[in-house]
Chains A and B, each alone.
Chain A
Amino acid sequence: MMTFFFILLIIGAFMCLYRIMMGPTPPDRMVAIDILGILVVGVCALYAVQTGEGFYLYIAIAWSILSFVGTLALAKFLEGKSFDE
């Protein structure tokens, strides 16, 4: 049953990759990168359940924070301002 969950989440990740490739404007690609980061957090949590080790949840926490910082940097870049204003 866990394999079925992984397959569903990977289908979602491929939908995000399709939007990253085919997105007509730059914000579309940035939204897809943000969603892909949150999906990876879910995949890490499921993998922690499957193996029974809590170690993979460290990866989930670090990935959520790093994805947030990356998305904020992309949004500031899109707004056309530098980082200190």
Chain B
Amino acid sequence: MSNPVGIFLIVVGVIFDLLGCLGLIRLPDVYNRLQAATKSVTLGTCMILFGVFLEFGFTSGGIKALICIFFVLLTSPTAAHALSRGSHISGFKLWEGSKMDQLEEDKGE
């Protein structure tokens, strides 16, 4: 715990993680929860890992943190896209206050 910039990034990342999990509880349907939780939790975890990289510097631990940032940024949006597409195809309804559904319009054409 030596680098103040690293500590600041870790603090902001933990707050982003907590707010994403709060969105997972509070929002009304699957797509809103996916929207809130996946983006902010991915950003928060990447900020924590970048803070870890700033703490370790260019040692073996810091390079491992950079590789982990790469994997999280690559895999998490792909998994969210697959989940939302799968649940839409499987027929789970949107919240009744939703304004538009572009995947349904594309299917109708």
Contacts and interface: CB of A to CB of B under 8 A. Distances in A.
B44 A42 contact: yes
Interface of A: 1-2, 5, 8-9, 11-13, 15-16, 18-19, 25, 27-28, 30-32, 34-35, 38-39, 41-42, 45-46, 48-49, 53-54, 57-58, 60-61, 64-65, 67-68, 71-72, 74-76, 78-80
Given A9-B17, A28-B30, A61-B64, A38 B82 contact: no
Given A48-B61, A57-B61, A30 B83 contact: yes
B92 interface: yes
Contact of B65 (A9, A53, A57): A57
